[in-house]
A and B are shown apart, each in its own frame.
Chain A
Amino acid sequence: NAGVTQTPKFQVLKTGQSMTLQCAQDMNHNSMYWYRQDPGMGLRLIYYSASEGTTDKGEVPNGYNVSRLNKREFSLRLESAAPSQTSVYFCASSEGALGANVLTFGAGSRLTVL
């Protein structure tokens, strides 16, 4: 009963490097999300996928791309990392995107960009 699994848990990048954060859920949820969490700013939505085959921008999409690979997996890619992208990233999933929407979160991926 894993829930939402994120990899890697920690990553250090140099400015300009690229990387992909992986996320998988085993709850048969339709919707998946990527958030970033910065001190004192709560959780901010980067991208979301309401259902398999669709993706939409959230509040802070610049500098990121996403891929909904299948119903289980939703990846977040940083093409050219910048120090401003130093953050803790959380993947989440929910049964539906609209209306009642309880999110199940992964444990987070801490990214440092030097």
Chain B
Amino acid sequence: GESVGLHLPTLSVQEGDNSIINCAYSNSASDYFIWYKQESGKGPQFIIDIRSNMDKRQGQRVTVLLNKTVKHLSLQIAATQPGDSAVYFCAENLRSGGFKTIFGAGTRLFVKA
């Protein structure tokens, strides 16, 4: 079936440490992946994306890694800050059958000062 899931529902890290949020997907037809950040009381916001023809993409303090062999996606946040505390969603986009975006359930990141 089609699913996008997260290995850990919550993650607690110390300020300044690196964070890694994982995501598994099951549909090999997915060709585009996006990470969103949702702060309390707000809508999800785009963080970074990656296409299936790439293994890694870097942004400002964030890196997304894609392992198509095991259908795994991860978001790495360097030098985690209190402002990074939020729920993080991965989403996969399927080209086949028209528009379809599947969101994972989310991982809550707590940053301890």
Residue interface mask B85-113, A partner, CB < 8 A = 1: 00001000101001101011110000000
Q: Given contacts A100-B32, A101-B32, is CB(A108)–CB(B106) below 8 Å?
A: no
Q: Which residues of A contact B98 (CB under 8 A)?
A: 97-98
Picked from A98, A102, A107, the residue with its CB within 8 Å of the CB of B43 is A107
Interface residues on B, range: 20 to 34
The dominant DSSP class at the B interface is: strand
Q: Are B95 and A107 in contact (CB under 8 A)?
A: no
Tell me the nearest residue of chain A to B90, going by C-beta: A42
- Identify the stretch in B44-52, B56-64, B65-73, B76-84 within 8 Å (CB) of chain A at 4 or more residues: B44-52
Q: Do A99 and B89 have beta carbons less than 8 Å apart?
A: no
User: In the complex the two chains form, is A102's CB within 8 Å of B46's CB?
Assistant: yes
Which residues of the other chain, A, contact B51 by a CB distance below 8 angstroms?
Answer: 100
* Interface membership of B1, Cβ < 8 A: no
Q: Is the CB of A105 within 8 A of B95?
A: no
- Among the 9-residue stretches A43-51, A60-68, A78-86, the one with 4 or more Cβ atoms under 8 Å from chain B is A43-51
Cβ of A107 to closest chain B Cβ, rounded Å: 5
A13 within 8 A of B: no
Residues 54-96 of chain A, each 1 if its beta carbon lies under 8 Å from chain B, else 0: 0000000000000000000000000000000000001010000
Residues of B within 8 A of A98 (CB): 95, 98-99
Least Cβ–Cβ distance between A97 and chain B, in angstroms: 4
Chain B residues positioned under 8 Å from A102 (CB to CB): 34, 46, 49
A4 interface hit (Cβ, 8 Å): yes
Shortest B11–chain A CB gap in Å is 16
How far, in angstroms, from A57 to B98 measured CA to CA in the complex? 12
Residues of chain B lying within 8 A (CB to CB) of residue A106: 43
Q: Which 7 pairs, one residue from A and one from B, show the smallest C-beta to C-beta distance?
A: A105-B43, A42-B103, A43-B103, A97-B99, A42-B105, A105-B44, A102-B46
Which residues does A use to contact B, with CB under 8 Å? 4, 31, 40-45, 48, 50, 90, 92, 97-108
